[in-house]
Amino acid sequence: MNKYIVKYDSRKSIFDDYQVIEGKNPKDALKKAFNKDYMRLTGEASRYATIILVKGDYDKQNNNIIYKGRYQLLCYGECK
Protein backbone atom coordinates (compact mmCIF):
# COMPACT_ATOMS: atom_id res chain seq x y z
CA MET A 1 0.00 0.00 0.00
CA ASN A 2 1.26 3.45 -0.91
CA LYS A 3 0.76 6.48 1.30
CA TYR A 4 -0.42 9.82 -0.05
CA ILE A 5 -0.66 13.16 1.73
CA VAL A 6 -3.62 15.43 1.09
CA LYS A 7 -1.90 18.81 0.71
CA TYR A 8 -5.05 20.66 -0.32
CA ASP A 9 -8.71 19.87 0.14
CA SER A 10 -11.22 22.53 -0.86
CA ARG A 11 -13.63 21.38 1.87
CA LYS A 12 -11.20 21.82 4.78
CA SER A 13 -9.58 24.76 6.52
CA ILE A 14 -6.01 25.63 5.55
CA PHE A 15 -5.05 25.39 9.23
CA ASP A 16 -5.96 21.68 9.50
CA ASP A 17 -3.17 19.09 9.70
CA TYR A 18 -2.19 17.15 6.60
CA GLN A 19 -4.16 13.95 6.11
CA VAL A 20 -2.42 10.70 5.16
CA ILE A 21 -4.42 8.23 3.04
CA GLU A 22 -3.43 4.77 1.78
CA GLY A 23 -4.17 2.79 -1.35
CA LYS A 24 -2.74 0.88 -4.32
CA ASN A 25 -2.79 4.06 -6.38
CA PRO A 26 -4.01 7.64 -5.80
CA LYS A 27 -7.53 6.97 -7.16
CA ASP A 28 -7.92 3.94 -4.88
CA ALA A 29 -6.70 5.91 -1.86
CA LEU A 30 -9.18 8.73 -2.57
CA LYS A 31 -12.04 6.24 -3.02
CA LYS A 32 -11.24 4.58 0.34
CA ALA A 33 -10.81 7.86 2.23
CA PHE A 34 -13.69 9.94 0.86
CA ASN A 35 -15.99 7.29 -0.67
CA LYS A 36 -16.31 9.28 -3.92
CA ASP A 37 -14.93 8.91 -7.43
CA TYR A 38 -12.27 11.38 -8.55
CA MET A 39 -10.65 12.02 -11.91
CA ARG A 40 -7.09 13.20 -12.56
CA LEU A 41 -6.73 16.78 -13.75
CA THR A 42 -3.70 17.81 -15.81
CA GLY A 43 -2.55 20.94 -17.59
CA GLU A 44 -4.91 23.91 -17.51
CA ALA A 45 -7.66 21.89 -15.82
CA SER A 46 -5.50 21.34 -12.72
CA ARG A 47 -6.31 24.84 -11.50
CA TYR A 48 -9.83 23.59 -10.70
CA ALA A 49 -8.64 20.70 -8.49
CA THR A 50 -10.59 20.00 -5.32
CA ILE A 51 -7.86 17.75 -3.88
CA ILE A 52 -4.07 17.83 -4.34
CA LEU A 53 -1.99 14.81 -3.29
CA VAL A 54 1.71 14.06 -2.89
CA LYS A 55 3.21 10.59 -2.48
CA GLY A 56 4.96 10.23 0.86
CA ASP A 57 4.44 10.28 4.61
CA TYR A 58 3.76 12.98 7.21
CA ASP A 59 5.75 13.37 10.45
CA LYS A 60 3.29 15.05 12.80
CA GLN A 61 5.84 15.72 15.58
CA ASN A 62 8.21 17.73 13.38
CA ASN A 63 5.52 18.90 10.95
CA ASN A 64 7.52 17.54 8.00
CA ILE A 65 6.46 15.83 4.80
CA ILE A 66 8.73 12.93 3.82
CA TYR A 67 8.45 12.57 0.05
CA LYS A 68 8.79 9.18 -1.66
CA GLY A 69 9.80 8.90 -5.29
CA ARG A 70 9.86 12.04 -7.37
CA TYR A 71 8.00 15.08 -6.10
CA GLN A 72 4.81 15.38 -8.13
CA LEU A 73 1.59 17.20 -7.32
CA LEU A 74 -1.37 14.97 -8.18
CA CYS A 75 -4.47 17.09 -8.85
CA TYR A 76 -7.94 15.51 -8.70
CA GLY A 77 -11.49 16.73 -9.16
CA GLU A 78 -14.79 15.06 -8.29
CA CYS A 79 -16.55 13.07 -11.02
CA LYS A 80 -20.10 14.18 -11.70
Per-residue model confidence as pLDDT tens digits over 22-44:
999 999 999 999 999 999 999 99
Which structural domain range is residue 43 located in?
Answer: 2-78
DSSP H/E element including 4: strand 2-9
Q: What pairing do the DSSP bridges indicate for beta strands 64-67 and 51-59?
A: antiparallel
- 54 pLDDT above the threshold of 90: yes
Tens of pLDDT, residues 5-21:
999 999 888 888 899 99
Query: What's the pTM?
Result: 0.89
Total count of domains within the chain: 1
- Which class for 28: exposed (0-12), middle (13-18), buried (19 or more C-beta within 10 A)? middle
